[in-house]
């Protein structure tokens, strides 16, 4: 191994007592490959098995916690006990390869497709549509419904524990329901769940507390709890870095094991809410790094990218698309073969890379996803 990459392979102890074997995390990525009924498919098990041997931690694609929280087609669920057997297969598939298995749990809120939720109407903090193309106006949740969704996160955590996962990641990023409640764009409420920035924190913090309550009640060994968040929103009004400071200060005092920043570029700088010229990753780490571990992510493709990311002092880095193109990324770096890491795809690569067909179709029809050799573009 090249000595400049040695830090990637250091162990990382977490607050709960779990020790990760290295600093590399498989980022949670949508694969669209679960069964139509929300159960785990053989194809997604094979996909995870192919990518779990080198990394220290695997964070799965998100599982929805209530029937009205489904975010997209072919997504798996954790909203009922009947899903535990499949979740158990997923956890053991990852763990058998040597990685810790973390189940990401979420609710789609106003981003849920109408065709995939009861009554055909997505729900959210308020009846305000997303600014995304084709967005519909959601129905504002009643107080009792909000309480039930909070309980849904706790129940999903219990199921993750019973399925043998090593932890859960609460998905509070990418415009989904937890972010919607924190967002001044999506949340126009004037009750206990909205208003000031502190009151907009009520739902995310209630979910965190319910998840930790479930861990205390059901886990018989150390169990990881993380939280993913997007530090800013493009909408006006929208979340700014100044508001994110309020969020992460509150989360850092909640006994979590890590905070996972959701950005496309690890080194991207803030747009609003601070004059600090450093990357958002560095700013966030400096603010909470002595209280809770931080996972940085965004555009890490090469071993040099990963080594540079660690200069920010974040203890953990998540790699996504590079591990789709090169499932042996970690092993090749460890063996001093980083020059052999693949960076492009051809039309013959689907089987070799163990990519489920829905994911493969998404890749080859999405411009800018990552480099694809010219012959693949003909498909």
- Mean pLDDT confidence for 322-343: 96
Whether residue 322 contacts residue 301, with contact meaning beta carbons closer than 8 Å, is answered with yes
Q: Please, which pLDDT band fits residue 367 given cuts at 50, 70 and 90? A: low
CA angle 238, 109, 323 (to 5 degrees): 85
The closest alpha carbon to 138, from 126, 148, 155, 151, belongs to: 126
Say if residue 50's pLDDT is above 60. yes
- The total of other beta-carbon atoms located within 10 Å of residue 259's CB is 25
Question: Taking the mean position of all CA atoms in its chain, how far away is CA 280?
Answer: 18
Whether residue 265 contacts residue 312, with contact meaning beta carbons closer than 8 Å, is answered with no
Residue-level pLDDT at 213: 98
Residue-level pLDDT at 377: 28
Alpha-carbon distance of 45 to 212, in angstroms, equals: 28
Beta pairing class for 224-229 and 258-261: parallel
DSSP string for 149-184: HHHHHHHHHHHHHHHT-SEEEEEE-TT-HHHHHH-T
The closest alpha carbon to 179, from 129, 121, 128, 238, belongs to: 238
What the block records as the tokens of 258 is 């890590």
Is the pTM of the predicted complex or chain greater than 0.85?
Answer: yes
Alpha-carbon distance of 67 to 145, in angstroms, equals: 12
- pLDDT tens digits for range 9-27: 999 999 999 999 999 999 9
- pLDDT tens digits for range 155-208: 999 999 999 999 999 999 999 999 999 999 999 999 999 999 999 999 999 999
**How far apart, in Å, are the Cα atoms of 344 and each of 29, 308, 370, 376?**
18, 22, 7, 10
Alpha-carbon dihedral 243, 244, 250, 255, rounded to 10 degrees: 170
Task: Tell me the residue ranges of DSSP E strands in the chain.
Answer: 12-13, 19-20, 24-26, 57-64, 100-106, 123-124, 139-140, 167-172, 224-229, 258-261, 293-297, 316-319
- Mean pLDDT confidence for 123-135: 96
364: buried, middle or exposed (CB in 10 Å: 19+, 13-18, 0-12)?
middle
Residue-level pLDDT at 368: 56
CATH number of 3-338: 3.20.20.70
Residue-level pLDDT at 341: 95
Whether residue 113 contacts residue 190, with contact meaning beta carbons closer than 8 Å, is answered with no
Task: Report which DSSP code applies to 12.
Answer: E
Residue-level pLDDT at 347: 79
> Considering just the CA atoms, what is the radius of gyration of the chain in Å?
20
Among residues of the chain, what percentage have pLDDT more than 70?
A: 97
**How far apart, in Å, are the Cα atoms of 254 and each of 176, 185, 211, 292?**
21, 25, 11, 9
Q: Please, which pLDDT band fits residue 348 given cuts at 50, 70 and 90? A: confident
Dihedral over Cα of 357, 362, 367, 371: its sign:
negative
For CATH 3.20.20.70, the residue range(s) in the chain are 3-338
Say if residue 379's pLDDT is above 90. no
Is residue 176 flagged as an active site residue?
A: yes
- Mean pLDDT confidence for 49-68: 98
What the block records as the tokens of 124 is 């959210």
Residue-level pLDDT at 374: 38
- pLDDT tens digits for range 232-256: 999 999 999 999 999 999 999 999 9
Host H or E run for residue 117: none
Residue-level pLDDT at 343: 87
Alpha-carbon distance of 23 to 8, in angstroms, equals: 5
Residue-level pLDDT at 92: 98
Residue-level pLDDT at 365: 82
* Catalytic entry in 47, 48, 176, 227: 176
- State the number of CA atoms in the 13 A half-sphere of 59 facing the CB: 30
């Amino acid at each position: 191994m090249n000595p400049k990459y040695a830090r990637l392979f250091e162990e990382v102890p977490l607050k709960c007592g779990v020790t990760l074997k290295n600093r590399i995390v498989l980022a949670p990525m949508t694969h669209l490959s679960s069964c139509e009924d929300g159960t785990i498919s053989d194809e997604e098990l094979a996909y995870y098995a192919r990518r779990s041997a080198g990394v220290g931690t695997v964070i799965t694609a998100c599982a929805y916690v209530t029937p009205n929280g489904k975010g997209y087609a072919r997504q798996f669920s954790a909203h009922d006990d009947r899903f535990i057997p499949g979740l158990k297969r997923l956890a053991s598939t990852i763990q058998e390869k040597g990685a810790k298995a973390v189940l990401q749990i979420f609710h789609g809120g106003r981003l849920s497709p109408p065709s995939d939720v009861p009554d055909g109407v997505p729900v959210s903090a308020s009846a305000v549509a997303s600014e995304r193309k084709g967005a519909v106006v959601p129905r504002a949740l009643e107080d009792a419904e909000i309480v039930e969704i909070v309980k849904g996160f706790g129940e999903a955590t219990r199921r993750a524990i019973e399925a043998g996962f090593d932890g859960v990641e609460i998905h509070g990023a990418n415009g989904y329901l937890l972010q919607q409640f924190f967002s001044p764009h999506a949340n126009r409420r004037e009750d206990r769940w909205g208003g000031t920035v502190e009151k907009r924190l009520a739902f995310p913090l209630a979910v965190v507390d319910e998840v930790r309550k479930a861990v205390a009640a059901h886990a018989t060994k150390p169990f990881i709890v993380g939280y993913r968040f997007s530090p800013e929103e493009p909408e006006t009004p929208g979340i700014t870095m100044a508001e994110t400071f309020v969020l992460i200060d509150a989360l850092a005092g909640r006994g979590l094991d890590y905070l996972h920043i959701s950005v496309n570029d690890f080194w991207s700088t803030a747009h609003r809410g601070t004059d600090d010229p450093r990357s958002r990753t560095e700013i966030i780490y400096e603010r909470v790094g002595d209280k809770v571990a931080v996972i940085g992510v965004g555009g890490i493709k090469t071993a040099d990218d990963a080594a540079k990311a660690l200069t920010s002092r974040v203890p953990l880095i998540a790699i996504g698309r590079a591990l789709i193109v090169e499932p042996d990324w970690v092993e090749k770096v460890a063996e001093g073969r980083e020059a052999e890491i693949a960076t492009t795809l051809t039309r013959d690569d689907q089987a070799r890379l163990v990519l489920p067909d829905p994911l493969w179709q998404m890749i080859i029809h999405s411009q800018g996803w990552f480099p694809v050799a010219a012959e693949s573009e003909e498909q």
